A and B are shown apart, each in its own frame.
Chain A
């Protein structure tokens, strides 16, 4: 029998709980070094983070499922990989997985009552990649139901709280992942982004997150919302951590028909490059009314910092920006209404306990299984695709999508990278917008256009607004320029410390 786990490690020379405190702000690279040097085992590291999850999750609700037994078994496997010299950069590191990624043997709910009994019989492509890398799954994170939401309030499992202020939303839909990283319940997490669902919660929780170019991360086993817009990506403290995560998450997958076949990249390769001569485009439409004064101050200060680092700024124009929200709220619901037709109570998921015939079974199962926001979007989608309205809504939205993509192409002729705020305001209060869908939708005003164009987008912490709530700096790159975006973010994080700030009350 192969020897693994606890036994083979030399005794620790210092107090583990003090080490655990130091680990809270450690980068993935630092954790990897500790593991490689056998200063700590993956079982110990995983155990420390699980302890923190169990202590904090009752207040924050960031996780829907934790399974200590599976996590520790994975940690043992990782320790064996390390002991036999087969360690990769993420081997043994606990990663929180958004509950949208099908994970074999784990409850995979997508934040919905519809899937509240769904133990996935298979792994998503992304999960397979983390497993192959020897990463440990520390738990499945809470999210807006079927990723439809910007506040995490649409989850069947209740809202997640913002670690910076328990009365504020964490953003959504990847709110659980953002909270888990911000509260240091996990060193890093996965998210998905259809209209801003990685970047907006990253901004509101003061962490870093990147939505890669559409097609780089496999959508196989990632429960579909709007297939032409959905893209998985990492959420972590720093750009360097995101780069390590992207190295694992990206890659061709034959089982996803829109997965791109490209040579693999090392996203760490350009982190150290100086920013001398970088041309930053500032869209004039992003710096107008709508952005709150505290967000504007933080974003302008970040841009000043970039000028100090040698970058130049140039005004660009994205004239169709204001159309992104209307276009998105036609296309995304249309695709969702089609994708979610699979939930019929026949093969898996919720089935109504009582019904009179087959159609009644469908109608009742779906009425009971879906929450209000999901139903709203299915109704919108069904309407815009229905006879007589298809051209006026769906086709018109697809045409405008092209105009929005063309705006970016024109802007990138004048600059290397685009910057602006990730969100118009800092985190809003729980309940503030949940009764008003239109107000909620408008909070994604800066992030949606990149999904429509399929471009990569990222948010990094850039200070704090009023009430000490975090502000995110939005970085949009041209197609396949993730390595450059990470470089741009990393250089800023070398001269600022926003990304390693954490709420005082959470420092144990």
Chain B
């Protein structure tokens, strides 16, 4: 597998990270090296093996659908970049 500069830009866009041309070029070199390491995985036949997503064989705990948290809006919004009237402010998204 070989990565292209377009792959880097596409992935950066998916990840919502702005990259300059220079950064993309550096990332291409470094990620190619890292994928060189990762490619070793492909040498193993794993067709009969179940994927392991988690270290412990446990089922997801569920809780009752009840309110457990108290309202701390003011505290939480005190560290937000921009708020107004209890709302988080972002640039206009609907014209």
Binding site for B on A (CB under 8 A): 117-119, 121, 214-215, 228-229, 254, 257-258, 260, 322-323, 325-327, 329-330, 337, 341, 344-349, 351, 355-364, 366-367, 370, 375-376, 378-380, 382-383, 386, 392-393, 395-403, 405, 436-438, 441, 451-455
Contacts and interface: CB of A to CB of B under 8 A. Distances in A.
A493 B34 CA distance: 39
B72 interface: yes
Contact of B75 (A121, A375, A403): A121
Interface in B35-65: 35-42, 44, 46, 49-56, 58, 60-61, 63
A323 B55 contact: no
A376 to B, nearest CB: 6
B17 A346 contact: no
Interface in B11-42: 11-12, 14-19, 27, 30-31, 33-42
A260 B17 contact: no
Given A376-B27, A382-B11, A403-B49, A347 B80 contact: yes
A194 to B, nearest CB: 12
B17 A329 contact: no
A100 B89 CA distance: 27
Nearest to B54: A228
B37 to A, nearest CB: 6
Contact of A214 (B16, B46, B55, B81): B55
A378 B78 CA distance: 28
Contacts of B7: 383
A215 B56 CA distance: 8
Contact of B44 (A228, A323, A347): A323
Given A363-B16, A367-B18, A400-B49, 7 more contacts: A337-B15, A367-B17, A375-B19, A379-B27, A438-B37, A441-B34, A452-B55
Given A323-B40, A329-B38, A454 B55 contact: yes
B34 A380 contact: yes
Contacts of B36: 438
Contacts of A437: 30, 33-34
Contact of B53 (A379, A398, A451, A455): A398
A327 B41 contact: yes
A285 to B, nearest CB: 14
Interface size class of B (residues with CB under 8 A): 35 or more
Q: Chain B interface secondary structure, helix, strand, loop or mixed? A: loop
Contacts, number: 163
A396 B15 contact: no
Contacts of B17: 363, 366-367, 370, 375, 378-379
A376 B31 contact: yes
A117 B81 CA distance: 10
Contacts of A325: 37
Contacts of A358: 90-93
A359 B14 CA distance: 11
Given A379-B8, A398-B53, A399-B49, A438 B34 contact: yes
Given A121-B79, A358-B90, A382-B14, A399 B31 contact: no
A364 B18 CA distance: 6
The 9 closest A-B pairs by CB, nearest first: A454-B55, A398-B51, A402-B52, A351-B81, A399-B46, A363-B18, A367-B18, A214-B55, A399-B49
A180 to B, nearest CB: 27
A257 B60 contact: yes
A380 B79 contact: no
B32 to A, nearest CB: 10
A348 B33 contact: no
A166 B49 CA distance: 47
11 contacts: A118-B79, A258-B54, A327-B41, A347-B76, A348-B76, A357-B92, A400-B46, A403-B44, A437-B33, A437-B34, A454-B54
A329 B37 contact: yes
Contacts of A345: 81
Contacts of B33: 436-438
A89 B11 CA distance: 50
Given A351-B82, A366-B16, A367-B19, A346 B88 contact: yes
Nearest to B27: A379
A228 B78 contact: no
Nearest to A404: B52
B90 A346 contact: yes
A348 B56 contact: no
B27 A396 contact: no
A117 B79 CA distance: 8
A396 B54 contact: no
Nearest to B41: A326
